[in-house]
C-alpha cells in the first residue's frame, strides 16, 4: 500500500493515510522517538509517502505498549535496536489530522545498530543525523518544536500539550 501512496501527490497521500487510519480506529495512538548520536545530533527520517523530515516513529499496534511500539518502529524504519526500554518524555495531542490523535514522545537512551542501519526501505527514503542548528529546511513544524524544546532544556514540558 505504501508503494501505491508514493505515486500520488503528497497532500493527497497524507489525507488518504490519515483517512485510512480514521476508518480503522477513530482514535489514533502513535509514537515519535528522539535518537541522538555521540555528538548530540538528532536522527530524522524522510518518508516515502509524506513530505518533510520527521523524528522516527509510527502507530501503536493493537495489544502493543507505546514503549514497545517506539522500539519496534526504530528497528523497522532505521535499523536501530534499543538496548533498554525507551524513556517517555511526554504525551501530546496532535490536532493536525482529526484532533483526536495522541503521540507518545520517547527517547532511545541507549541503542545499537542492526545490519539495516539507516538503509532506505519501502517506508523511509532517507535518514540522517543532524545538529540542532543544522536541521533540513523541510523539517516539520512539530519536529522543530520538540527539538527547540530540547535545545532550551525544556523537553516534554509544553504548557498546552500540543504536538
Query: Which has more confidence, 24 or 144?
Result: 144
Find the radius of gyration of the CA atoms of the chain. 15
Query: Is 90 exceeded by the pLDDT of residue 85?
Result: yes
Which pLDDT belongs to residue 25? 62
Angle CA 140–146–150, to nearest 5: 135
Nearest to 21 by CA among 76, 106, 96: 96
Q: What is the mean pLDDT of residues 70-93?
A: 96
CB distance 43 to 35 below 8 Å: yes
Which pLDDT belongs to residue 7? 73
Nearest to 135 by CA among 125, 148, 122, 124: 148
Q: What is the pTM of this model?
A: 0.83
Sequence spans of domains, the chain? 2-152
- Which architecture, in CATH terms, is 2-152? Alpha-Beta Complex (3.90)
Which pLDDT belongs to residue 154? 85
Q: Rounded to an integer, what distance in angstroms lies between the CA atom of residue 128 and that of residue 5?
A: 23
CB distance 127 to 74 below 8 Å: no
Query: Is 70 exceeded by the pLDDT of residue 128?
Result: yes
Q: How many residues comprise the chain?
A: 163
Give me 155's grid cell: 523537553
- Condensed to tens digits (0 to 9), the pLDDT of residues 102-126 reads 999 999 999 999 999 999 999 999 9
Amino acid at each position: 500500500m505504501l508503494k501505491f501512496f508514493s505515486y500520488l501527490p503528497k497532500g493527497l497521500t497524507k489525507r488518504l493515510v490519515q483517512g485510512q487510519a480514521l476508518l480503522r480506529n477513530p482514535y489514533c495512538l502513535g509514537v515519535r522517538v528522539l535518537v541522538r548520536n555521540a555528538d548530540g545530533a538528532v536522527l530524522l527520517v524522510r518518508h516515502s509517502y509524506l513530505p518533510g523530515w520527521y523524528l522516527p516513529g509510527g502507530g501503536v499496534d493493537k495489544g502493543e505498549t507505546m514503549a514497545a511500539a517506539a522500539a519496534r518502529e526504530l528497528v523497522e524504519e532505521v535499523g536501530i535496536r534499543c538496548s533498554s526500554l525507551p524513556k517517555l518524555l511526554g504525551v501530546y495531542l496532535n490536532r493536525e489530522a482529526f484532533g483526536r490523535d495522541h503521540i507518545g514522545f520517547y527517547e532511545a537512551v541507549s541503542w545499537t545498530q542492526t545490519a539495516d542501519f539507516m538503509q532506505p526501505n519501502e517506508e523511509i527514503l532517507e535518514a540522517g543525523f543532524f545538529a540542532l542548528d543544522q536541521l533540513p529546511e523541510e523539517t516539520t513544524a512539530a519536529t522543530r518544536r520538540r527539538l527547540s524544546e530540547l535545545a532550551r532544556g525544556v523537553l516534554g514540558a509544553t504548557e498546552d500539550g500540543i504536538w
